[in-house]
Amino acid sequence: MSDKLTDRFLKQGREFLGCDYPFICGAMTWISDPKLVASVCNAGGFACLAGGNTPPDILEQQIDETKKLTDGNFAVNLITIAPAYKDHLELIKRKKLKYIVFAGSFPRENEIKIAKETGAKVMCFASTLSIAQRMVRYGSDAIILEGMEAGGHVGHVSLTILLQQVLFELHDIPVFVAGGIGTGKMAAHMFLMGAAGVQLGTRFAVAEESCADRKFKEVFFRANARDAVSTPQFDSRLPVVAVRALRNKGMEAFGQLQLDLLKKMETGEIHREDAQVEVEKYWMGALRSAVIDGDVKSGSLMAGQSVGLLTKPETVQEIIDDLVAETEKEINHVKSMLA
C-alpha cells in the first residue's frame, strides 16, 4: 500500500503489529494452525495462533512450526477459561512470544503481568469502556472490540454500539475492531473512525490455505447472514457463553444438552462448574467434527454473520490484496466526497 492518505490511517496498527497491513486473522480453534497463521503473515497481515485447550507440548510445537514458516509477527491466543490455561501461562514464560492475546474472559492483573514480563505485547478483549480501562490499568498494550456479529463464542453487544462506547472514548491505546467485517470497504470506515486495525475470522476460515474440510467450506459459501445464529441460555443457573454458528442438528443438540445438564443439576448429579465444563467439551468436540471430519450436519459450524458476504474460494494472498485495494479505494472515495 503506497497511498499516503491511506498510510496515515493504517500507521498506528501497522507500527503496533509490526506488519505491512493491520488486518488480523482471528484465532479460530482447529482452524488457526501454523499453516494458516504463517500464510497470513507472509501475505503482509497479522494472525493469531489458537491456543484453545491445546496440550502445552502440542502448542509449543505449533509455535515453533509457525516460526519456521514465517518471519512475520504473530500472536498466540490464550483462553482464560480453558482447562489448560495455567499450563499455557507457564509455556509463554519459556517461549518468549512477541504478542499474546487473552480471550475467553478477562485476565487477572497478575496474568497480564506474567505475559508482559516475557517481553510480549499484550492484547485483551473488552465489551465495555470500564472493562477496557481496567485492562489498560492492568497493563494491556491494546484492546480488541468484538461485536456479537462475530462467529464462535461471542458477547451480547453489537460492534456498532462498542464503537460508540469504547472506540470513540479510548484514545491513548490502539483499539482493534472485529465482528461482522468482511470487506475492505467496511474496514476503511473502521480506520476512518479511529480503529488501529480490523480482525476477520469467517473469511479466513474458508481460505484455500485453511485446514477446514471441503464440506465445511462449501456450507459457508451457501449460507446467508441470517443462518449464523447465536445460542440461547435457557437458565441463569447454568451460565453459558453464547456461540454463533450456522443452524444445523448440532445447534439443536446443544439446546438438549443444556436441558439435560439442568436436570442433573436439580437432582444433584452434577455441579454447575462441571456442567459448564461439559458445555465447553461439547463445543470443542462438535467443532472438530465439522472442521476436521466434515460432519456439517451434527458438528459445529461456527461462523460470523459476515458469512453472508462470502462469494468464492480465495487464497490468503487474494484476501489480503482485496482488503488492501478496497480499503485504499474507499478512503480516497471519501476524500473525494469531502473535497
At 86-134, the pLDDT tens digits run 999 999 999 989 999 999 889 999 999 999 999 999 999 998 999 999 9
Report the pLDDT averaged over residues 173-199: 98
CB neighbour burial string for 86-104, b if at least 16 within 10 angstroms, e if fewer: eebbebbeebebebbbbbb
Q: CA 184, CA 181: separation in Å to the nearest integer?
A: 8
> How many Å apart are CA 28 and CA 312, to the nearest integer?
20
Side-chain-facing half-sphere of 74: CA atoms under 13 Å: 34
Query: 192-196, 237-241, 302-306: which has the minimum mean pLDDT?
Result: 237-241
Confidence of residue 13 (pLDDT cuts 50, 70, 90): very high
Average pLDDT of the chain is 94
Tell me the pLDDT band of 239, cut-offs 50, 70 and 90. confident
Average pLDDT over residues 307-327: 97
CATH superfamily of 4-211+310-338: Aldolase class I (3.20.20.70)
pLDDT at 233: 84
CA distances from 309 to 36, 105, 202, 224, 244 (A): 21, 29, 10, 8, 16
Contacts of 64 (CB under 8 A, 6+ apart): none
Per-residue pLDDT averaged across 47-51, rounded? 96
Report whether 298 contacts 291 (CB < 8 A).
no
pLDDT on residue 234: 86
The C-alpha cell that represents 237 in the structure block:
443457573
Identify the pLDDT of residue 175. Answer: 98
Share of the chain above pLDDT 70, in %: 99
* pLDDT (tens digit per residue) in 268-314: 999 988 998 888 888 889 999 999 999 999 999 999 999 999 999 99
User: Is the pLDDT confidence value at 192 over 60?
Assistant: yes
Cβ(45)–Cβ(17) under 8 Å? no
Alpha-carbon distance of 17 to 120, in angstroms, equals 11
Q: Model confidence at 145, in pLDDT bands (50, 70, 90)?
A: very high
Neighbours of 252 (CB within 10 A): 11
Residue 15 C-alpha cell reads as 507500527
Position 245 confidence tier, pLDDT thresholds 50, 70, 90: very high
What is the predicted pLDDT for the residue at 1? Answer: 53
* Res 83: pLDDT: 84
Q: Which three cell numbers stand for residue 97?
A: 512470544
**Which is it for the CA torsion 132, 34, 289, 79, positive or negative?**
negative
> Does position 190 have pLDDT exceeding 90, yes or no?
yes
Give the integer Cα–Cα distance in Å for 236 and 8.
47
β-partners of residue 97 are none
Strands 228-230 and 197-200: unpaired
Q: Where in the chain is the domain with CATH 3.20.20.70?
A: 4-211+310-338
pLDDT bucket at 3, cuts 50 / 70 / 90? confident
220: which 3 cell numbers?
459457508
Residue among 284, 220, 215, 213 nearest 246 (CA): 220
Grouping H, G, I as helix, E, B as strand and the rest as coil, residue 176 is strand
Mean per-residue pLDDT for 8-33?
Answer: 97
C-alpha–C-alpha distance, residues 18 and 255, integer Å: 43
